[in-house]
Structure 1
């Protein structure tokens, strides 16, 4: 990890599965669009490492996000700073696993072309020093801060949701060089000095 990496604290408690980590590859999400090169995803899971029970219906039908244990779980501030952007009105759509996930993946290009809001869904962005930290896919109506307010590390920002470009409730975290997401550079991040690879479970 670069010496210029922005050090954050984990923005949650409980058990979360790491996915799409820049510890494994950069760009972590297979694209540099919207400065996502160093972004990372966290999925809330149970003691068995499952985000939800996977039944026969999961193979063939979209599932309500409420069936996932992480839906509504608290998202905390990973850094102190000033809120510079909030979006809180996007609907939490169904989750897609099994065959429905294939159809959803085929429409991802359309969401990317629609822009940042279509991908991030409900989110909050915090300026700290020379970087802006974005926490995305939050639950509709859950964001508890407004633009211009100051946040401290560990304060509750909102709840984990399934808005934007998301196949199941999870939290997407990234840091960027400016609020202009289309032109910003991606900023490397780490958590308390380390960066977990995909497949690790963070248990706090």
Structure 2
């Protein structure tokens, strides 16, 4: 029986003196020694694709991606700190998450309640949702890796005590290397027009979209990483509301029946138009191919596809194969599919499918930033409100769209 070279209860790291400067390491990852086998119970990998930096309405550049952390120890693991390192294990620390923020950003795979997790049980995999932020695009490293500190609890069974004793109480491991993409975000026009649109569940908050790690298309995918649920407010209300009148009627919502616009010239590749609107304030039970309700997918070129979901039944004005132009009305905003009130779900994917493709960032070429929605449903006017170009609206930004052509 091969005995693993167990370390003491201290940190588990590779030193610069034992790390080869070349790529010829025989399969041993950078950050681990070449003169000693070490117990490394956390298997740290990334969720594809390589992140594309995107500028948000905060004026900063966001690098958004996920880590998968498998606990291959006989003891439950708690991540206590994550350092993001520039260009390798010996690089500068460019971002740090402490214990509480790490836990808020961590989910267990196959935990279908999608609640933050405080520990990773034996044999389970956690996903950590990362958003590394930089002042400018030129400040973003070409590559990133991570140093994860973790502690381990008692073995879950007395039968495992002897095995668990071979494992350290704490580790500091390197892993989850990513190559930052040199691609730029997709440039689009507005998907809607008019005032008072809220970028609900948008980047880069800890939202239902961000935590939607779906097992689709043969892999774990961040299928809604950059998706936005556009709802509409009357900015004269205090607090802000998405409806006037009866909240049980779709027609009384301010977003309902709004024109949906082509964000770019393109070709229609998918249309569904025969699903009924759902009643507001109810969570429908649907099959996976029904989640988007009535929807349209446009091929907008360069391998990118614009996905519009939850349209009014019968409202799509296009058919598969039609060519559309930017600003063209293609449908009406409704409440069909997996939705509890009228809104437009919009995202950009590299595949002509709602969930299986790489979900990629985009910037809207022009819009007006008004402010943000507070936790008490009030408008917090932005001190830097006004015209914006080539930015991605962030979570709960209030946006005005000008008429487009």
| TM-score, reference length from structure 1 | 0.82
Q: CA 1:198–1:180 in 2, change beyond 3 Å: closer, same or farther?
A: closer
Other-structure match for 1:153 = 326
Other-structure match for 1:173 = 346
Which of 121, 132, 135 is the matching residue for 2:308? 135
C-alpha separation between the residues in 2 aligned to 1:26 and 1:6? 22
Shift of 1:23: 3.2
Q: Which runs of 4+ in 1 moved over 4 A?
A: none
1:147-173 residue CA offsets vs partner (Å, 9 max, x unmatched)? 001111000011110000111110011
SS of alignment partner, residue 66 of structure 1: helix
Give structure 2 stretches of 5+ with no counterpart: 1-53, 55-62, 64-182, 217-222, 366-389
Q: CA 1:65–1:23 in 2, change beyond 3 Å: closer, same or farther?
A: same
1:69-101 residue CA offsets vs partner (Å, 9 max, x unmatched)? 2211111111111000000011011110xxxx5
Question: Which structure: greater strand fraction?
Answer: 2
The number of residues matched between the two structures is: 185
Shift of 1:4: 3.0
- Asked if 2 retains the 8 angstrom alpha-carbon contact of 1:23 and 1:195, the reply is no
SS of alignment partner, residue 251 of structure 2: helix
Shift of 1:32: 2.8
Which of 227, 242, 248 is the matching residue for 1:51? 242
Alpha-carbon RMSD across the aligned residues, in angstroms, is 2.1
Other-structure match for 1:32 = 213
Q: CA 1:78–1:180 in 2, change beyond 3 Å: closer, same or farther?
A: closer
Which of 93, 115, 136 is the matching residue for 2:278? 93
Shift of 1:180: 4.3
Q: CA 1:181–1:12 in 2, change beyond 3 Å: closer, same or farther?
A: closer
The structure number with the bigger radius of gyration is 2
- Asked if 1 retains the 8 angstrom alpha-carbon contact of 2:245 and 2:252, the reply is no
Higher relative contact order (CA 8 A, sep 6+): 1
| TM-score, reference length from structure 2 | 0.43
Which of 334, 337, 340 is the matching residue for 1:164? 337
1:159-193 residue CA offsets vs partner (Å, 9 max, x unmatched)? 11000011111001111111244532212222121
Which of 96, 115, 123 is the matching residue for 2:288? 115
Question: Which structure: greater helix fraction?
Answer: 1
Other-structure match for 1:8 = 188
SS of alignment partner, residue 120 of structure 1: coil
